[in-house]
Amino acid sequence: MATKKNKILSTSINKKTSSLMEDFNSSIKIDKRLIEEDIAVTKAHVDNLHKLGTLSNKELNKIHKGLSSIQNEYQIGKLKFTKKNEDIHMNIEFFLFQKIGDTALKLHTGRSRNDQVATDTRLWVIKSSKILQAKIKNLMSSILKQTKIHQDTIIPGFTHLQIAQPVLLSHHLLAYLEMFKRDLDYYTFCIKGSDENVLGSAALAGSNYSLNGNLLNKKLKFTKSKNNSMDGVSDRDFCMYFLNASSMTAIHLSKLSAELILWSSNLFEMFKVHEEYSTGSSIMPQKRNPDSIELVRSKSNIIRSKAMELSNVISGIPLTYFKDFQEDKKIIFECFDELSICLDVMSDVIKKSQFNKDKGMHLCNQYFATSTDLADYLVIEKKIPFRKSYKIIAEIVQYAQKNNKNLSQLDIVEFQLFEKLIDKKIYQYVDVKKSLGRKKTPMSTNPKNVTKNIKNYESFLK
């Protein structure tokens, strides 16, 4: 029998646990974070017990008031969890026992910690997925704001980190909105995959009490219950969905970070990180380092490892519940914390930092970004096969490089050294701005397409 001083859970088989085992076995330092979910699940469960006649009106009210009091004490920092009661479930039950006495001993009727923790974790994943979706949308709004500011700013597009063709900076940034929009869908999939109530599975075989699944689902805002009790207590696929969705977001953050780090270097000079998010060197007074986005890049790679961590924990485990599952909370909590701050930091960096309006045009001219346009000029205007026109333009570019000129600085006589059919119309194809308008496909960097996509994202984010 429990007293108000000892732990709530004890068995005749193991009357005394070593202090080392208590430290090793206890998860309260980690899973205390599930307190709101656990209290909500417990309230729904006792409502069900009341419907069955297992709890009287008086007992139900005592339990509800006691649980609400525990939650209030937690919110103001008064609760002191103890490892003697192992986890969040037993700590709450013990706190309730201290408040209302033996009535609290009825709390665990018809359920197990196995279905309890699985349900708690599902609720947490649903809540956390929605929080991350909101943070992703906030980042998207910051990107969209810069997209509108730089709707007409021209930069070089890169392949293999080599300057390739002119694009609008707005078009470049819109590519990231496409990525993060997909991430929203991944979390929606995660939410749907978590939307199965496990209560009623009990330890593994199901409960001996006629728990009302519809009532439990309504109370906890699940749309359905698990079909199989053994799958209910052992399923951690939804945690993998959460980690995989987070991995994709992390990949996109890492890609964006890497690009901005390059662009902020002295070699590119295309992006200036706001002083709030850059730091100085300890010995080189001329430098400011993009530490914020470097940390986002490194943390993003750590986030990606979380899915592998959990898969290593849960793979090869037979049905049903094993203590191995205690490790899942630590992994998903760490993933959420790291990703959450990365999204916040990146959103603020994008919002406050500056893109260089002029550097991109200079780079496009300096590194022959309209060369493909010139090849197309010979195809469209002079009906020269593309492979032949490609070779002609390659020779023109080599000539310009040797003479320290860009394409616009070559006169018509110089062009005609390589192909006599070339006329002054070639300068329309040399022009970087006209290159953008020449793009025909709806997904291209054509300013009309970009304007349309910006309006679409404005509507989407509203």
Asked if residues 226 and 198 have their Cβ atoms less than 8 Å apart, the reply is yes
Distances (CA, A) of 227 to 112, 125, 193, 213, 242: 17, 20, 14, 11, 21
Cα Rg, the chain, nearest whole Å: 31
Catalytic entry in 160, 282, 315, 459: 160
Give the separation between CA 335 and CA 299, rounded to whole angstroms: 10
Q: Is 298 a catalytic residue?
A: no
Catalytic entry in 281, 298, 305, 408: 281
Q: Which phi and psi (to 5°) does residue 134 adopt?
A: -65, -40
Residue 246, both tokens:
């987070």
HEC profile for the chain?
CCCCCCCCCCCCCCCCCCHHHHHHHCCHHHHHHHHHHHHHHHHHHHHHHHHHCCCCHHHHHHHHHHHHHHHHHHHCCCCCCCHHHCCHHHHHHHHHHHHHHHHHHHCCCCCCHHHHHHHHHHHHHHHHHHHHHHHHHHHHHHHHHHHHHCCCCEEEEEECCEEEEEEEHHHHHHHHHHHHHHHHHHHHHHHHHHCCECCCCCCCCCCCCCCCHHHHHHHHCCCCECCCHHHHHHCCHHHHHHHHHHHHHHHHHHHHHHHHHHHCCCCCCCEECCHHHCEECCCCCCCEECHHHHHHHHHHHHHHHHHHHHHHHHCCCCCCCCHHHHHHHHHHHHHHHHHHHHHHHHHHHHHHCEECCCHHHHHHHHCCCCHHHHHHHHHHHHCCCHHHHHHHHHHHHHHHHHCCCCHHHCCHHHHHCCCCCCCCCHHHHHCHHHHHHCCCCCCCCCHHHHHHHHHHHHHHHC
Q: Is 353 a catalytic residue?
A: no
- Show which residues are catalytic: 160, 281
